[in-house]
Chain A
């Protein structure tokens, strides 16, 4: 029997809302480790949660946390596809076997500070990024993220770097001629 898919919480960034996110794909950021994605599951007893993830070799793993401060992101887009994987045999068997194991009393602090911007705020930040200066990799990532989220056209990442040298070269070229000429 398939586990019913819970309705997706539109805002699932705090521990109080985690119960609504059971069955959803989440990405959890740790203070002392890289972020991990998985399907949020309740623990067998108590009020904690754990999530099912896969390691680099594709093997199912259970990660446990409780008293979560923050879940960085709950991603609806991959939910159904990943659930289909989990609830298909033999992955389902593997998942159930993992779930039947006792949860070790390990406390993992979930942190990874994030800042949520409203659409208007994000649009203003996007305008900041759309300035004359070339973007560094962090700014490029941010521009791509905001552009994707707000469905805005991507900013040109290959803006020419304007400076004295290029300006002088441009000025030295007569109209109608190219540098090769």
Chain B
């Protein structure tokens, strides 16, 4: 059964280890890949919650 937020929407809970892997992936592709709004949103959330430096894009 899927986890849901208070409004009933589906959420997925990642462990810190899993989230760090996603952060690394975003950081690695950030040089060659133009982030869209959703990518930026994920990158901001991960860097904030994991206390990691924000992923910058030119």
Contacts and interface: CB of A to CB of B under 8 A. Distances in A.
A11 B4 contact: yes
A139 interface: yes
Interface magnitude class on chain B = 20 to 34
B9 A115 contact: no
B25 to A, nearest CB: 6
B41 A119 contact: no
A108 interface: no
Interface string B28-56: 00000000001101100110011000000
A113 B42 contact: no
Interface of B: 1-19, 21-22, 25-26, 38-39, 41-42, 45-46, 49-50
21 contacts: A10-B7, A11-B6, A73-B3, A112-B16, A113-B49, A114-B13, A114-B16, A115-B14, A115-B46, A115-B49, A116-B12, A117-B42, A118-B10, A121-B38, A121-B41, A128-B22, A128-B25, A128-B26, A142-B21, A145-B12, A149-B10
